[in-house]
Amino acid sequence: MVVFDQYLAIIRSFMSLNTAEPVARTKGERTANRIMDIAENLFAAHGYDGTSLRQIAERADIAQPGLYNHFSSKEALYKAVLFRALNPMTLALSNHINDASTLREYADLPAIITDILLEHPLMAVLFQRAMQGDSASAGNQLVNAWLEKLLNQGMISLQSFDGITTTGTEKTGSQSRAALAINLIAMFNLTTGYFLSQRVFTSLAQGDLLDADNIARQKRLLHKVIRAMLIS
């Protein structure tokens, strides 16, 4: 039986540093990926509680007991789906945080998140559902642990910025853990929230939020907001 930890190892072994999707090499892995594709759509549409293994099995055209050959439980499947959704962002953000040497480069993080969400549109829904879930839920705990790792990495990286000028006149202040946590939460809410607001935008402006001009406006706004938050 391919349980959750084993499947995460499979995903990690196939992930490259350019955030490419994992390549399934065996029939079992291809089936597991197909199950995850179906589960991702259902979890995004109906949430964890509103999705059953029976629904997933029916969509995948396999007997429900057959799911257990790949995932030990609904929770294990949900965690695997979230991990797969977050992994491209993890790699991209970790690499950028490690390479960033100026506040301007840090302020580019929301643009990177926006580009990833454009390629993986369901990620925004999955992320928000997990964030808003009960604190004891699997999704909330996984996303919180993921954010904490990014926060710790950001704290270490930003320590080197103290006293460095960003424009010749502005200096970075020491970032407390609480302040950086607020910045991190705001950044993800602003980026994911954008992709969840199409209905409102259509009502207000009769336009498409995914239009290239609107995406460019969003990136410019986010850059200004995050840069201001980091400096304050």
Instruction: Write out the chain's pLDDT in tens, 232 residues.
Output: 443 444 344 344 333 333 345 555 788 888 999 999 999 999 999 999 999 999 999 999 999 999 999 999 999 999 999 999 888 888 888 888 777 777 777 788 899 999 999 999 899 999 999 988 888 888 889 888 888 888 888 777 766 655 443 343 344 444 578 888 888 888 899 999 999 999 999 999 988 999 999 999 999 999 998 888 777 6
Q: Does domain 4-231 have CATH number 1.10.357.10?
A: yes
* Nearest alpha-carbon partner for 53 in 134, 45, 44, 63: 63
* Nearest alpha-carbon partner for 11 in 19, 2, 1, 23: 23
152-160 long-range contacts, CB within 8 A, separation 24+: 153/94, 153/97, 153/98, 154/97, 154/180, 154/184, 155/180, 157/97, 157/98, 157/100, 158/106, 158/230
Tell me how far apart the alpha carbons of residues 119 and 112 are, in angstroms, rounded to a whole number.
11
Q: Tell me the CA distances in angstroms from 201 to 10, 60, 135, one per residue in order.
A: 40, 34, 31
Residue ranges of the domains in the chain?
4-231
Contact 60, 38 (CB under 8 A): yes
Token pair for residue 175?
């970032």
Q: Name 171's bridge partners.
A: 165
**For 173-222, what is each residue's pLDDT tens digit?**
445 788 888 888 888 999 999 999 999 999 999 889 999 999 999 999 99
CB proximity list for 154: less than 8 A, separation 6 or greater:
97, 180, 184
Question: What's the full length of the chain, in residues?
Answer: 232
Contact 154, 97 (CB under 8 A): yes
Tell me how far apart the alpha carbons of residues 23 and 63 are, in angstroms, rounded to a whole number.
25
**pTM, to two decimals:** 0.77
CB proximity list for 206: less than 8 A, separation 6 or greater:
none
**For 5-17, what is each residue's pLDDT tens digit?**
443 443 443 333 3
Tell me how far apart the alpha carbons of residues 209 and 194 are, in angstroms, rounded to a whole number.
8
